[in-house]
Amino acid sequence: MLLIFDCDGVLVDSEPLSCRIDAEVLTECGVPYTAQDVAREFTGVSIKDQIARIESERGIRLPEDFTERLNRTLFARFETDLKPIAGVRDAILSLPVPRCVASSSIPERIALSLRVTGLSDLFDHIFSSTQVARGKPAPDLFLYAAQRMSTRPEDCLVIEDSVAGVQAAVAAGMRVIGFTDGGHCGPEHGERLRQAGALHIVEHMEDLPGTIRNR
């Protein structure tokens, strides 16, 4: 079995920070969004797909330096404020099976997130949506990760916090556990993940090992 972890909202509690900063930068660019808007519409979605959707739906062009401005602000905040998901290190260390990260974020953001939160040593294999044609909810990233890890899709188990990520795992023919302990997850989040195709919902990372062993 191969465990495939999403990063934002599963390994690191980044979504509240990133949604707030994303909304601030969009609003500064003349495209008003709240953090709640960003969380609802773009959690689990790559920045490339987010920009394409905003520009298409709003009939605008974001500034050419939008991504650079966003990342500069976000990375600085991550250095000081980003925390790991509670209990994630112990949970992963108690699962002695092959594992990797497959995230919609760019490689620089993934590396920074894992470094700041002290999780870098847990993962030798990290995959980003920048390596495939289509981001989540398309299955491309998870299929790419499985191929690179020499594992059949049906032998993969994905841990995801976003509807887009769960949909991507299901489309890839993989089993998926929905995770709901991120700071962005409200009381209805677990049901949304279940409706998207998650087989189990884990509310606290300390419960993940038992859920995997008893699945």
Instruction: Give catalytic residue positions.
Output: 6, 8
* 83: number of Cβ within 10 Å: 13
At CB < 8 A and 24+ separation, what contacts does 14-20 make?
A: 14/78, 14/82, 14/113, 15/39, 15/43, 15/161, 15/182, 15/183, 15/184, 16/182, 16/183, 16/184, 17/74, 17/77, 17/78, 17/81, 17/82, 18/74, 19/43, 19/184
Are the beta carbons of 25 and 70 closer than 8 angstroms? yes
- What is the rounded distance in angstroms from the CA atom of residue 165 to the CA atom of residue 148? 19
Are the beta carbons of 122 and 95 closer than 8 angstroms? no
- Give the up-direction half-sphere exposure of residue 196: CA atoms within 13 A in the CB hemisphere: 27
Q: Name the token pair of 203.
A: 């509310």
Compute CA distances 160 → 52, 59, 75, 180, whole Å.
23, 31, 22, 9
